[in-house]
Amino acid sequence: MSAISKLVDRLNGALKRVPVLPLYFVALVPGLWTFYQALAGQLGADPMRALEQGLGLWALRFMLATLAVTPLMRWPGIRLLRFRRMLGLTVFWYVLAHLTVYIVLDQQFYWLAIARDILKRPYIIFGMTAFVALVPMAITSNDLSVRRLGAMAWRNLHRLAYPAGVLMVLHYLWLVKSWTAGPLAYAALMALLLGLRLVPRGSSGRRRTREKSNARNVSTARA
């Protein structure tokens, strides 16, 4: 056994003992902290924009984490599948909060402007479409839905995560005034995580991991 696989096995052992339920709340802490800072006047001259962008960024980070689960399982063999539902739902909560700030604090219920934005502005279109794609996934992120829909249909539905991820980085890239390093880095990471899914399965490294995961779960992506 190589040093790396020993390390991975130890990591997997430790991960098995981490309870998932508290993490649903822990994952919301950065957003709540940003909201507190905005209220406390700690976010500078434009707290609304800082809060709006902060929530959007956390949504994107959790999206990347969600989409990293499969590649991490396939190559180093790190098993994070238990946490994926938590990660994915966290994306949804952050996107929902981000959208709420946009409607309530940024546009201030100026529905005409919002409607015009949705029709005219590519980055708003991307963001809104990503949100629409996340809704059915969030609704079906529970065991009952998996049973009702059946594994195949459920998995197909949750492939919406790929276009949603692409739309989220486009939303970010499109809204900045020039090509800055931040959005480009997020876009590159997204491209990497989605691109890894195109690698044919035969070339995958650790057979043991693959067989185990294939046997047990419905969600190893093949796209």
Partner 1 sequence: MAYRPVHKIPSSEITPKSVYLNRRSLMAGAGAAFAAGMLPGHAWAKLETKPSKYGADLKPTAEEYITSYNNFYEFGTGKADPSENAGSLTTSPWSVKVDGLVAKPGTLALEDIVPKVQEDRTYRHRCVEAWSMVIPWVGFQLSDLLTKVEPLGSAKYVAFETLVRPDEMPGQKGFFQPLDWPYVEGLRLDEAMHPLTILATGLYGEELPNQNGAPLRLVVPWKYGFKSIKSIVRITLTEKEPPTTWNKAASNEYGFYSNVNPNVDHPRWSQATERPIGGGLLSQRQPTLMFNGYEDEVASLYTGMDLKKYF
Q: Report the alpha-carbon distance of residue 73 to residue 214 in Å, rounded.
A: 11
Provide, rounded to whole angstroms, the least separation between the CB of residue 39 and partner 1.
7
Q: Which of 82, 117, 129, 206 binds partner 1 (CB under 8 A)?
A: 117
Provide, rounded to whole angstroms, the least separation between the CB of residue 180 and partner 1.
5
Judged on CB neighbours under 10 Å (0-12, 13-18, 19+), 196 is middle
Q: Is 42 in the site for partner 1 (CB under 8 A)?
A: no
Provide, rounded to whole angstroms, the least separation between the CB of residue 114 and partner 1.
10
Residues 6+ apart with CB under 8 A from 218: 146, 151, 152, 154, 155
Q: How many CB atoms within 10 Å of residue 212?
A: 14
Enter the DSSP assignment of 106.
I
Q: Is 210 in the site for partner 1 (CB under 8 A)?
A: no
Q: Report the alpha-carbon distance of residue 134 to residue 132 in Å, rounded.
A: 5
Q: Is 38 in the site for partner 1 (CB under 8 A)?
A: yes
Q: Report the alpha-carbon distance of residue 65 to residue 205 in Å, rounded.
A: 21
Task: Taking the CA atoms of 4, 7, 13 and 18 in sequence, report the sign of the dihedral they define.
Answer: negative
| String marking each residue 47-66 x if it binds partner 1 according to CB under 8 A | xxx-x---------------
Q: Report the alpha-carbon distance of residue 8 to residue 53 in Å, rounded.
A: 35
Q: Is 44 in the site for partner 1 (CB under 8 A)?
A: yes
Stretch that binds partner 1, among 7-15, 37-45, 135-143, 150-158 (CB under 8 A): 37-45
Q: Is 159 in the site for partner 1 (CB under 8 A)?
A: no
Stretch that binds partner 1, among 23-31, 39-47, 89-97, 198-206 (CB under 8 A): 39-47
Q: Report the alpha-carbon distance of residue 58 to residue 81 in Å, rounded.
A: 20
Provide, rounded to whole angstroms, the least separation between the CB of residue 38 and partner 1.
5
Provide, rounded to whole angstroms, the least separation between the CB of residue 47 and partner 1.
5
Q: By the criterion CB under 8 A, which residues form the site for partner 1?
A: 38-39, 41, 44-49, 51, 105-108, 110, 113, 116-117, 120-123, 174-175, 177-181, 184
